[in-house]
Amino acid sequence: MELLPDRQILFNRMRDTICGVYERFGFLPLDTPILEYSSVLLAKAGGETEKQIYRFTKGDTDMSLRFDLTVPLAKYVAKNYHTLAFPFRRYQIGKVYRGERPQKGRFREFYQCDIDVVGDGQLSVLTDAEMPAVIYTVFKELGFENFTVHIANRKIIKGYLQEAGLTDKTAEISVVLDKIKKIGAEKVAAELAVLGLSQAQIKPLLQLTALTGADFARFSCVDETFKTGVAELQTVIDGMKRFGVPEKNFTVDLSIVRGLDYYTGTVYETFLAGHENIGSVCSGGRYDNLAGYYTDKPLPGVGISIGLTRLFDKLGSETSAIARAAQVLVVSADGAIEACLPVAASFRAAGISASAYLEDAKLKNKFKYADRLGIPFMAIIGETERKNGTVTLKNLASGEQFEGITENQAAIKIKDAP
């Protein structure tokens, strides 16, 4: 994805908003290499993931491009274990690479915006309640109103399958259950039947995954893992409310299973009303052990990820941000272009973003330039202004014009503009 300037400004604004929220929640920045030794990146990968990775040799060195921000985090935490303060709260916004065939809405090179909290041996389940609070704040500040964080806990399904004697099929069943939103309960039932489940096994399973609200706590199951899952989910929901997440912006949804074996407790997906077709715009969950491939230390964690490139591609035009190149364009009314330089410098010293138009062109073309770049003000310097040390300031939207004012007065008018 390569954007034109006005779209790039909007993209950066979305990125900066996400970054700002992450920092407000006390997450620390991390930047890891995009290019890494394959032995580091691929320690854990296999199957489909490995096929998608960009891997190559340079001289004798086997290198790969990172395909997510979690593996680099695992390596980083393991390497710096003795230096970091735990719980380690980090955010990372950066590009990742997957060798998919590019298609509309899928990119080979795309931005992910991740946060994770990693504990040293233990991590309070209240941390799981903080993730939806971050998601809520991010999407709210991006200008979205109608979005819902769907929450489940994998221990609930896992415990139920244990009780039902289906433990050995947990992985396959999870993959099928994860499709409910896409293909519906009926087709899922058919696929479960193919896996060898009886109707007596399928029916309660679909009842369980269809539970919303507080009903999950009343589902009958005596398995200990199930009970732990229910208790954790209740703690998370209570914590989210305390963090100020409105009830309309989250829901318990036990159909959220997520295919990854990786997650062991709370899982999240986020859907935007009217855009359910693009899938989850922010997902994540709790994992028991982040860095088993790099260290013997048990490092439980919880995290979420926003696929920014895809989100922007689909919804960038729905945000309320305005793209403009600068607040003011400084131009000369005649050929004495150098007179623009100190005026532009003076605006910048006042904290105003100012572009100086230094080409010898007709005034009409200077207006056109400001218009194309979405610059709201133009400061015009002609003979009178040079003689008196003043500027003429024009509000290009309203057409209002102020003649013979000082640079300071102009700066105040620019700053006060909505």
Residues 16-35, interacting with its own copies (CB under 8 A): 23-26, 28-35
Q: Comparing C-alpha atoms, which of 357, 346, 362, 332 is closest to residue 409? A: 346
DSSP per residue over 125-184, as a string? THHHHHHHHHHHHHHHHTT--SEEEEEEEHHHHHHHHHHTT-GGGHHHHHHHHTTHHHHH
Q: Does 127 help bind its own copies (rule: CB under 8 A)? A: yes
Q: Does 199 help bind its own copies (rule: CB under 8 A)? A: no
405: β partners: 391
Spatial distance between the Cα atoms of 207 and 255, rounded to a whole number of angstroms? 10
Q: Does 355 help bind its own copies (rule: CB under 8 A)? A: yes
Interacting positions 396-415 with its own copies (CB under 8 A): none
Q: Does 137 help bind its own copies (rule: CB under 8 A)? A: yes
* Min dist. Cβ of residue 168 to its own copies (A): 36
* Min dist. Cβ of residue 86 to its own copies (A): 8
**56 CB neighbour count, 10 Å cutoff:** 11
Q: Which of 40, 45, 65, 177 binds its own copies (CB under 8 A)?
A: 65
Return the range that interacts with its own copies (CB under 8 A); candidates 158-166, 283-291, 349-357, 385-393. 349-357
Interacting positions 268-297 with its own copies (CB under 8 A): none
Q: Does 216 help bind its own copies (rule: CB under 8 A)? A: no
* Min dist. Cβ of residue 291 to its own copies (A): 15
* Min dist. Cβ of residue 191 to its own copies (A): 32
Q: Does 119 help bind its own copies (rule: CB under 8 A)? A: yes
Written as six digits, the tokens of 238 are: 């209570």
Q: Does 165 help bind its own copies (rule: CB under 8 A)? A: no
From residue 29, give the alpha-carbon distance in Å to each of 115, 186, 281, 381: 9, 45, 22, 44
* Min dist. Cβ of residue 298 to its own copies (A): 15
Which one, 159 or 239, has the nearer CB to its own copies? 239
Phi, psi angle pair for 320, to nearest 5°: -95, 5
Q: Does 3 help bind its own copies (rule: CB under 8 A)? A: yes
Q: Does 354 help bind its own copies (rule: CB under 8 A)? A: yes
Q: Does 352 help bind its own copies (rule: CB under 8 A)? A: yes
Q: Does 321 help bind its own copies (rule: CB under 8 A)? A: no
Q: Comparing C-alpha atoms, which of 303, 315, 308 is closest to residue 272? A: 315
- Whole-angstrom distance between the N-terminal and C-terminal Cα of the chain? 32
Q: Does 140 help bind its own copies (rule: CB under 8 A)? A: no
H-helix or E-strand spanning residue 83: none
* Min dist. Cβ of residue 197 to its own copies (A): 39
Q: Does 351 help bind its own copies (rule: CB under 8 A)? A: yes
Spatial distance between the Cα atoms of 244 and 216, rounded to a whole number of angstroms? 22
- Residue 304 · residue 258 · CB < 8 Å: no
Q: Which of 78, 195, 231, 337 binds its own copies (CB under 8 A)?
A: 337
Cis peptide leading into residue 33 (ω within 30°): no
* Min dist. Cβ of residue 170 to its own copies (A): 29
Q: Does 358 help bind its own copies (rule: CB under 8 A)? A: yes
Q: Which of 229, 239, 285, 316 binds its own copies (CB under 8 A)?
A: 239
Spatial distance between the Cα atoms of 408 and 11, rounded to a whole number of angstroms? 32
Reduced to 3 states (helix: H, G, I; strand: E, B; else coil), residue 397 is coil
Strand ranges of the sheet holding 55-58, from the earlier edge strand across to the other edge: 35-37, 61-65, 55-58
Q: Which of 48, 60, 82, 83 binds its own copies (CB under 8 A)?
A: 83
Q: Does 59 help bind its own copies (rule: CB under 8 A)? A: yes
Q: Which of 326, 379, 410, 414 binds its own copies (CB under 8 A)?
A: 326
Q: Does 195 help bind its own copies (rule: CB under 8 A)? A: no
Q: Which of 9, 175, 195, 231 binds its own copies (CB under 8 A)?
A: 9
* 184 φψ region: left (φ > 0), alpha (ψ -120 to 50), beta (else): left
Q: Does 102 help bind its own copies (rule: CB under 8 A)? A: no
Q: For its own copies, how many residues bind (rule: CB under 8 A)?
A: 81
Reduced to 3 states (helix: H, G, I; strand: E, B; else coil), residue 364 is helix
